[in-house]
Structure 1
Amino acid sequence: MASQLDMFAAPFQPDDDVVVPLRESLKLRRRPLDGERMARLLEESGSYRVLRKLVGRQIVDIPRPGFPRIGAIVDTETTGLDHSKDEIIEIGAVAFTFDDNGHIGDVTGVYGGLQQPTAPIPADITRLTGITDEMVAGQLIDVGALRALLEPADLVVAHNAGFDRPFCEAFSSVFSGKAWACSVKEVDWAARGFEGTKLGYLIGQSGYFHNGHRAVDDCFALLEVLAGGADGVTEATAFAELLKTSQRSRVRIYAEHSPFDMKDHLKARGYRWSDGSDGRPKSWWIEIEEEQLAAELAFLRSEIYRCKEADPPVKRLTAFDRYKA
């Protein structure tokens, strides 16, 4: 225990050393840590990885010059997977400017709307999206607002356009006649260091978390992933790659009248079956880059038809007709 001063001791002289024991530990007042500073400290320790909540970009009234093109990211939530019978219950769209090199400028508009379907929302859809029958009761998507956002767009982007485009075009002609790009198929995410193509993986590995499976939130999440760099793999953004890839022509080959016993060979090569109900020929088909056409025709003639004169139907596709139903 620390001793007390003796009041009866001889008075101190000017040259004496005086030691005064402290009764309490010294308390230092520190500046409180804000959230971002705490996150940086955790990251710098090397033992933690911090995800930041994604905050959507602000809408600007006057976009910056130098970004003459307009893009629109579109996302849908639906009652199922079949566009011919299931319905859209939510649409989100985020319009933004960009230049011909794939640099993203400003967000110029946002729309999000719910719609009541003709039948109750399946329980598994509610579990996935959080959208309930009560939320959509009496709701209608504002097609006029969508039209104002999409009509000026040079490119419509969806994360899995093969799903969203048929639903959107079945819902309204607003979406028809547009060039579409798919951020799942037209970006090499693996080369950019991502472990998967699902939006949740992409946004998480980009350092964010968001309210997934809600249309507008998914649109903003995809915009940030596309605008991000490639972690030193390449200087081009993911959107620049998407823009370039979407401008390439592709071809779809229909292996009509191919021998039945060749179906396993076709399937192993990546061909898919069409039963003809969607307006395509009833046959196995594959979609490839145009420069692969000669090699693919040679394969079909030598390995499948075994006839040099075989001439399977070929359809050339651009962004204006790719991903249609």
Structure 2
Amino acid sequence: MANRPSRDSAAADEFVRQLQPLQLATGPTGDAESPGPFGGIAVDVETTGLDPDKGRIIEIAMRRFRYNRDGFITDIGQPYSWLEDPGEPLPGEISAITGLTNADLLGQEIDAPAATRLLTSVSFVVAHNSAFDRKWIEERLPDARGLAWCCSMSQVDWRARGFDGRTLGYLLMQSGYYHSGHRASADVDALIQMLRHQDASGQTALSEMIATGSASSWLVRARGADITTKDDLSARGYRWDVPKRVWWREVADDQLEAERAWLADHIYVRAAKPKASGPEVEQVTPRTRFL
């Protein structure tokens, strides 16, 4: 009698997802007619810590891509990456996360002119956490300051696309892929792959990100808010800026007046004991966002 899978086994298979290694080939993607008329570049950095004023970049990776008016990536360029000696021993936790050792970094240096040429050769730069990566890159590559930036983590509604989270590795796994370790070049490829994602209507994540990222918005800083209002601010979506010691939130043009009204009613009302009369408001664009 031939062996047949049991009913329980067949049911279990419905909950099994097979992951494939992510391998992005250089050249046309096949997603749309090649080559697209527009260019972007995906970047990622590995660092010795979280604070650009105290740490150093130890690896930077980047890869250009071309896309069309509908937001489909048509071509993927060759990968670039550089290591850099931070001039001090790596913290143990950084070695554990990245797999890099002091020996790997000894005497290594980023080719700053080449990296800058790549960054300035396209319409925009994208990272999966641009609020982190932009500061590090502009500190290390000052001639690349002032470029237009987008963020694939904060400017795409991944939950609406059916994902449970927005960390890059988790998004990639939910898409059926995995990459090799926490290295900058692997994260760049994962980022590009996720920008190719299409929702139920066929809109790509890249198209959504560009639409969100190209619009101007406003940084609202609740300067002078009393410490007793921190829970209200957090629930509203404000985040604490450690260096500037202020709660802040970014809102779209059409949300600004509603945000001012909410702050007046909850944060700057006399009963909340504010130390200022109102928030600081600053308009941001793709060239000034994530600083």
The interval holding the TM-score normalised by the smaller chain is 0.7 to 0.9
Partner of residue 49, structure 1 = 17
Whether the 8 Å contact between 1:53 and 1:210 is mirrored in structure 2 is: yes
TM-score by length of 1: 0.77
Whether the 8 Å contact between 1:77 and 1:89 is mirrored in structure 2 is: yes
Q: Which has the higher contact order (CA 8 A, sep 6+)?
A: 2
Deviation at 1:195, TM superposition (A): 1.5
Q: Higher mean Cα deviation, 264-273 or 250-259?
A: 264-273
Asked if 1:294 corresponds to 2:262, the answer is: no
Aligned with residue 82 of structure 2, among 82, 102, 113: 113
Deviation at 1:261, TM superposition (A): 4.1
Identity value in percent: 40
Whether the 8 Å contact between 2:41 and 2:122 is mirrored in structure 1 is: yes
For residues 277-292 of structure 1, what are the structure 2 equivalents within 5 Å?
277-278=243-244, 283-292=246-255
Q: Higher mean Cα deviation, 210-219 or 161-170?
A: 210-219
Deviation at 1:99, TM superposition (A): 2.1
Partner of residue 72, structure 2 = 103
**Alpha carbons of structure 1 residues 133 and 59: separation in structure 2 relative to 1, 3 Å:** farther
Encode CA deviations 1:66-115: one digit per residue, 9 max, x unaligned: 51211000000111111111111000000011123211111234211100
Partner of residue 225, structure 2 = 258
- Mind listing any 5+ residue stretches in structure 2 that lack a counterpart? 1-9, 271-276
Partner of residue 3, structure 2 = none
Partner of residue 225, structure 1 = 194
| Aligned-partner Cα distance in 2 for 1:94–1:126 | 24
Deviation at 1:58, TM superposition (A): 1.2
Amino acid in the other structure paired with 2:140? F
For residues 133-144 of structure 1, what are the structure 2 equivalents within 5 Å?
133-144=102-113
Q: Which SS does the other structure have where 2:160 is aligned?
A: helix
| Aligned-partner Cα distance in 1 for 2:230–2:179 | 43
Asked if 1:58 corresponds to 2:21, the answer is: no
| Aligned-partner Cα distance in 2 for 1:239–1:70 | 12
Aligned with residue 268 of structure 1, among 222, 235, 247: 235
For residues 119-198 of structure 1, what are the structure 2 equivalents within 5 Å?
119-198=88-167
| Aligned-partner Cα distance in 2 for 1:68–1:79 | 37
Deviation at 1:150, TM superposition (A): 1.4
Deviation at 1:174, TM superposition (A): 3.8
Q: Which SS does the other structure have where 1:191 is aligned?
A: coil
Deviation at 1:283, TM superposition (A): 3.8
Q: Higher mean Cα deviation, 164-173 or 102-111?
A: 102-111
Amino acid in the other structure paired with 2:255? Q
**Alpha carbons of structure 1 residues 262 and 241: separation in structure 2 relative to 1, 3 Å:** same
- Mind listing any 5+ residue stretches in structure 1 that lack a counterpart? 1-41
Q: Which SS does the other structure have where 1:144 is aligned?
A: helix
Partner of residue 49, structure 2 = 80
| Aligned-partner Cα distance in 2 for 1:166–1:270 | 22
Amino acid in the other structure paired with 2:164? E
Partner of residue 266, structure 2 = 303
**Alpha carbons of structure 1 residues 274 and 221: separation in structure 2 relative to 1, 3 Å:** closer
Q: How many residues align?
A: 271
| Aligned-partner Cα distance in 2 for 1:272–1:228 | 28
